[in-house]
Structure 1
Amino acid sequence: MKYKTAVWAALLSISCPLFSAWAEEPFAAAYKTDGQWGLLNGQGQEATAPVYDKMDPSLEKDESQRAADLRASAGKDMSRSSLIEVQKNSRRGFLDRTGHVVVPAEYQDRSVWKDGHLAVEQNRRLGFYDLSGRQTSSYSYKEVSDYRDGMAAVRTDRLYGFVDGEGRETVPELYQDVNLFSGGLAVVKKDGSWGAVNASGGTAVPFLYEDAGPFFSEGLLAVKKGGLWGYVNTSGQAVIPFVYEQASPLFHEGLAAVKKKGALWGFINPQGDEVIAPRFDEVLTPFSEGLAAVRTSDGNAYIDKSGKMVFSANFDQVYAFHGGLAEYRTGEVVSRPLRASISVGWGGFRGGPWGPGGPFGFGPGWRFGPFFYDPWFWDHSMYDQEEIHRGYIDRSGRIIADAALDHVYPMTDIGALVKNNGRYGWISRTGNYTLHIRYKNIVPLPDQNLFLVQEENGRWGALTNPDGAQAVPSLYQGLSDAGSGLLAYRQNGKWGLLQSRDGRIVTPAVYDQTGRFGDGLIPVKSGQSWMYLNESGSPVLTFGQPVQDVTDFRQGRAGVRIGGRWGLIDASGHFLVQPAFDDLKIF
């Protein structure tokens, strides 16, 4: 069957919430004839003539970028799942699911959709489109940023400015360096000095400063003057005096880390009051969930907002708390963060004063240099590597997942996969072993509160989450999620269906292949032909001639291939389009 599409759909439904929303969008199916792709609607009528070389929800080749692309929110009036990317003569564009052209097929590269806009590249120049399909700017820029707060940074020659959502350059290209807008203001550099401007280009903070933070936090901006740091408000008035050799760019939970010359690190509040006296060699993380990591002569520790040490944390790297847990790392660490936004810039990038080695270890390039991107979409845990020895601790300092294991995978809402001596287990967020480290493979099925596990003898079964009880005995050559509370099982080289909750056999293992349930129907292959079963395992859609291939049902439609040609059927088996196409994909 169209197995690649089916597997991608199953994986994306777990990792990308937008996929589940596709059922709410108008039905669309791509069809191929004479080497070109067109689009069908739910009635089987042609929505777009076959004029495209490629057609898919995303044409990004890298799977991680593709997933990030599909997770993006196109805008308040349209979800990303409403859009289909097309390619013609090596140029790409976007259609909506009714076949309407949103962006003509004329760009070579693009960003993700963000805030209702898409940055596109043509002949090494960049421009913007909005969701109405209107080109809001010509291909005139060498660099652009994502939209944030209704504004995007642009550069035509050597200096930067900003355009609004209509593509109007409301902030002229006068600035050597810029940060994205936040709260109606952008921190920018002009003639070697830093200040801030509003969306009309007016000066909010005068250009008096040697350096500055990326944006305002608690209504304050960290700025440097005369070699020392202080904080100004949105009117440019000094609120916290310039007395600090180093200062964190942002307040977190009402506190910012600061350091005077020759002194240690402490914390102040937005009024400039010293809340935690200076006594730390380094501040390793900002406050998060009431705790911050610091370093003293005695080692690393987490402190509370009174400055009291809560527990020691003598690991090589520590991170802020999220959801009651904090990651830590030991040994040689290779951290290569993966952006959750796709860049359309080229060249290198640089860090600001709190980049690598700064008090919070912000990723490189929180400020714009010669490479534009959204600076707050880095996630240090997203790019997984076997050489990273990762672990997790809770708010008491208790180890939840031990970095001494060969590998601890990133924590999820239901726990973390762990690996040791070539075998896998699963640890809950409370540190209990849901599954002990003994399995050759583990596949979590969070929607069913199950884990598919492969035993040492190669046989597969299913265990429940969170107690690890046996739901399906480990008897089978293979198991996969079939949807609708059923699993496909493989026995003696054939496939059948069973209940995931108790292992009860629904159909014997007599099928050569199975698909996945959609609209209460699942495709199965027996011999040289496919048919569809209902949730009781009874055949409900059979055909009077061999069906060579099929798709899963989606929105009451499925594709079938008969005589080497694809057609489109409804849930009753009625042909909306007789088999006539070289290929067919349901989105």
Structure 2
Amino acid sequence: MNYRTGKILLITSLLLLPAAFSPARGEEPAFSYTHIHREGSVSTMETGRVETREKSSKKTTHYDISVNLPSSPAAGGLLYPYLAKNGLPGDVHRRRGESDVYGYGVTAAFRNKKGWGLLNREGHEIVPAFWDSMSYEGNGLFQVKKGKKISYITADGRVAFPDREEGPSFYREKGKYGILDDRGNRVTAPLYREVLAPFSEGIAFVQLSDGRKGGIDGSGKLLFTAEFDSVGPYEDGLAEYRRKVNRFNWGTLAGAVLGGLGGSGGGDEMLPLSYDGVKRGYLDRQGRIVVDSRSDEVYPMTEWGTFVKDHGLLGFVNRKGEYIIPPGRYDLSGGRLYEEEGLVTLRDKEKGKMGAFRLEDGRQVMDFLYDRITFLGKDRVLYEMGGKTVLSGESGVIRELPSGAVMQPYSEEGLAWLEEGKKIHALDREGKILFTLPEGEAARPFRHGLAPVKSHGLWGLVDIHGQWVKSPLYKDVQMM
């Protein structure tokens, strides 16, 4: 692939699921799309949340398109919330596989005072509101929680049971742990003082009777020893380890980037992030340190790698620990990481301007000339330069937008919401306003021809013509 720096921006086409984006006017979605490695014990979910936990493919298909950007300061920008000084790029557009939930007749989850339920493709309630939380596990199966009880249901609300996880597991006897095979037969006697992380990708972390910590295989063979305070299961060849420190917490990780400790990428969402003060590092399957926790700051792992800050300089390393973007005086605040496209926007501390890099090889694809940059998918980009806000495409500038306008990424229908003052417009790919919501306090992106819209404090669904399909009746509606 040939990439020209300077005024050429390369964008890979992007199909983004609507529920993965924050709504217009600063509404915070309760829906989070998170890749969860499901080996080991069942994860506990927060009350009042709906999640999708489907595993996604790591295979990337690139469709590179050149978008010409003007060299003169005649372009504009998109206003997004300013994040903490130590934040990972303001939002992370996570890679996700195509959800199969629509094939089971489900289009959205809704919440009222009784809890969460499900809506079908026509917007009718097919599972009444009842559950404190709900997560889609794939293959038409939903994990639901009521109080402290976790169970499973199908798309029509019937009780169901998940398939048993294959592979070895642990049992406890007389205060120690041993290994069982996938049929429940004992493989080892109770040998281990503690199980530190369950089997994942054929390796588990344990503490041995002599106090050492390390990784073992399903037969109990010790593969390596390592030093850490805590560790998570392997995901895609990497395991996150942590060490304790007494220091000020710089921020909070807004949502579970990687399903908690041990995540290593492949999540399916866009999340606002900030560095959380955790002294983390990453081990490969041989127990070798590929990202050292002794660096000043190590950020959560993505599919492409992670940011590492040391001695005041910030760089990006790949999943082998090799620098892709060499350390420099970069600021993550106001930036964004697009995992599907393999792009990131950063701010140059000295110039105070935004630029963009390709994560595959660290090539800079936009110079540090812009006040703001936002990739919108569907071969579209919104940027700010010289005080003007511009929507641009493959052939150049499409239209200038009102200063400070907020625009969401395009959905698969080729529609995007534009907020202009107190008005919310639906734009097509050519920047044409198709309709303006007659009433609406917030809107979320379209999915399968429907979009959640908030009016008078309640959420409903509108179609691609702006007509109510489901009147605003709910505390929340999230597309699935």
Deviations 1:524-566 (A, max 9, x none): 46788665554345x36478x999988555545679999xxx9
1:460 corresponds to which letter in structure 2? M
Question: C-alpha displacement at 1:70, in angstroms?
Answer: 4.2
Residue of structure 1 in register with 2:117 after alignment: 94
Residue of structure 1 in register with 2:383 after alignment: 489
C-alpha spacing 1:531/1:129, structure 2 compared with 1 (3 Å):
closer
| Superposition map of 1:243-254 within 5 A | 246-251=176-181
Residue of structure 2 in register with 1:84 after alignment: 109
Which residue of 442, 445, 449 maps to 2:342? 449
C-alpha spacing 1:464/1:530, structure 2 compared with 1 (3 Å):
same
Q: Does 1:440 align with 2:331?
A: yes
C-alpha spacing 1:258/1:85, structure 2 compared with 1 (3 Å):
same
Deviations 1:415-442 (A, max 9, x none): 2233446764332111112234432114
Q: Does 1:328 align with 2:241?
A: yes
Indicate if the aligned counterparts of 2:407 and 2:417 stay in contact, CA closer than 8 A.
yes
C-alpha spacing 1:119/1:478, structure 2 compared with 1 (3 Å):
closer
Question: C-alpha displacement at 1:282, in angstroms?
Answer: 7.9
C-alpha spacing 1:7/1:397, structure 2 compared with 1 (3 Å):
farther
Secondary structure, in 3 states, of the residue corresponding to 2:356? strand
C-alpha spacing 1:76/1:248, structure 2 compared with 1 (3 Å):
farther
Superposed CA RMSD in Å reads: 6.0
Q: Distance in 2 between matches of 1:316 and 1:586?
A: 38
Deviations 1:382-428 (A, max 9, x none): 69983431111223444221101233233232222334467643321
Q: Does 1:426 align with 2:316?
A: yes
Residue of structure 2 in register with 1:463 after alignment: 357
TM-score between the two structures when normalised by the length of structure 2: 0.56
Which residue of 395, 399, 405 maps to 2:289? 399
2:331 corresponds to which letter in structure 1? K
Question: C-alpha displacement at 1:489, in angstroms?
Answer: 0.7
Which residue of 302, 305, 315 maps to 1:415? 305
Question: C-alpha displacement at 1:463, in angstroms?
Answer: 0.9
1:258 corresponds to which letter in structure 2? A
Which residue of 353, 357, 366 maps to 1:472? 366
Deviations 1:107-149 (A, max 9, x none): 584665775675546xx99999875457x8xxxxxxxxxx645
Question: C-alpha displacement at 1:101, in angstroms?
Answer: 3.8
Deviations 1:482-512 (A, max 9, x none): 221222112244311235x9x9544456554
Secondary structure, in 3 states, of the residue corresponding to 1:391? strand
2:114 corresponds to which letter in structure 1? R
Q: Does 1:258 align with 2:205?
A: no
Indicate if the aligned counterparts of 2:25 and 2:419 stay in contact, CA closer than 8 A.
no
Which one has the bigger helix percentage?
Answer: 1
1:440 corresponds to which letter in structure 2? D
Residue of structure 2 in register with 1:515 after alignment: 407
Secondary structure, in 3 states, of the residue corresponding to 2:51? helix
Aligned residue pair count: 377
Secondary structure, in 3 states, of the residue corresponding to 1:466? coil
Look at both structures and tell me which one has the larger radius of gyration over its CA atoms.
Answer: 1
TM-score between the two structures when normalised by the length of structure 1: 0.47
Q: Distance in 1 between matches of 2:322 and 2:430?
A: 37
Q: Distance in 2 between matches of 1:575 and 1:432?
A: 49
Indicate if the aligned counterparts of 1:338 and 1:379 stay in contact, CA closer than 8 A.
no
C-alpha spacing 1:316/1:567, structure 2 compared with 1 (3 Å):
closer
Q: Distance in 2 between matches of 1:471 and 1:527?
A: 32
Secondary structure, in 3 states, of the residue corresponding to 1:69? strand
Secondary structure, in 3 states, of the residue corresponding to 2:381? strand
% identical aligned pairs: 25
C-alpha spacing 1:17/1:507, structure 2 compared with 1 (3 Å):
farther
| Superposition map of 1:37-56 within 5 A | none
Secondary structure, in 3 states, of the residue corresponding to 1:448? coil
Indicate if the aligned counterparts of 1:285 and 1:292 stay in contact, CA closer than 8 A.
yes
Structure number with greater CO (CA < 8 Å, separation at least 6) is 2
C-alpha spacing 1:108/1:400, structure 2 compared with 1 (3 Å):
closer
In structure 1, the gaps of 5 or more residues are 19-61, 137-146, 151-181, 184-215, 228-244, 260-264, 267-280, 341-376
C-alpha spacing 1:132/1:381, structure 2 compared with 1 (3 Å):
same
Which residue of 50, 69, 73 maps to 2:51? 69
Q: Distance in 2 between matches of 1:306 and 1:86?
A: 46
Q: Distance in 1 between matches of 2:244 and 2:299?
A: 16
Indicate if the aligned counterparts of 1:12 and 1:67 stay in contact, CA closer than 8 A.
yes
1:498 corresponds to which letter in structure 2? S
Q: Does 1:5 align with 2:23?
A: yes
Indicate if the aligned counterparts of 1:102 and 1:132 stay in contact, CA closer than 8 A.
yes
